[in-house]
Chains A and B, each alone.
Chain A
Amino acid sequence: KQEVTQIPAALSVPEGENLVLNCSFTDSAIYNLQWFRQDPGKGLTSLLLIQSSQREQTSGRLNASLDKSSGRSTLYIAASQPGDSATYLCAVNYGGSQGNLIFGKGTKLSVKP
């Protein structure tokens, strides 16, 4: 079964710290991997999309890496801010006609001022 795991489930850091969120997946035959942010009671905001042929993607203070062979992705957040507090979700697309995303359960990040 294709599964996506995110560790840790929750993380609390002081403002200004650089941090890494981890995502692992059991089947390495992915098409792409997408990182989302979800604020409490809100929808999902797409942060970064990494295609299977790419090693990393960057957007502002965010950098996502992908290592297909080891079944891992990381989301690096530089100089964290209280506004970064949210739940971060990793989702893997295995392609095919269905094209649905397999989601991890998320890492809840709290950045303390």
Chain B
Amino acid sequence: DAGITQSPRYKITETGRQVTLMCHQTWSHSYMFWYRQDLGHGLRLIYYSAAADITDKGEVPDGYVVSRSKTENFPLTLESATRSQTSVYFCASSPSASYNEQFFGPGTRLTVL
């Protein structure tokens, strides 16, 4: 199916564990984004990617690592999960940085115990 998918949809982990959230889009969009959504803060950008092998930090990058070896995939890794990283994570994609809509995935609800 065309679109943007995220996996897993729900994840519970423990403090200190490594967790990887997956994002896959079928449109061949150049730009991909990771946001987190928290009560009281709204959505905030963690990392973005302008193309394969081009990534950069957003507003709240600490504790996260990304990679983009293929255009369609943009995984987000929490190297050593902390309770403050309990959140809902959304992946998005867009053909360009500025002129097009951003399309969002269904989200991953992550709980760090």
Contact = CB atoms under 8 A, between A and B. Distances in A.
Given A99-B48, A100-B48, A43 B90 contact: yes
Given A99-B94, A106-B42, A34 B99 contact: no
Contact of A49 (B33, B59, B101): B101
A36 B42 CA distance: 13
B101 A98 contact: no
Given A98-B58, A100-B58, A103-B42, A46 B102 contact: yes
Contacts of B41: 105
A44 B90 contact: yes
A41 B106 CA distance: 9
Interface in A35-74: 36, 41-46, 49, 51
A96 interface: yes
Interface string B80-113: 0000000000100010111111111111010000
Interface in A85-110: 89, 91, 93, 95-101, 103-106
Nearest to B34: A100
Interface of B: 31, 33, 35, 40-45, 48, 50, 56, 58-59, 90, 94, 96-107, 109
23 contacts: A32-B98, A34-B102, A42-B106, A43-B90, A43-B104, A45-B104, A49-B100, A91-B102, A93-B102, A97-B56, A98-B48, A98-B58, A98-B97, A99-B48, A99-B97, A100-B33, A100-B35, A100-B48, A100-B58, A103-B43, A104-B42, A105-B40, A105-B42
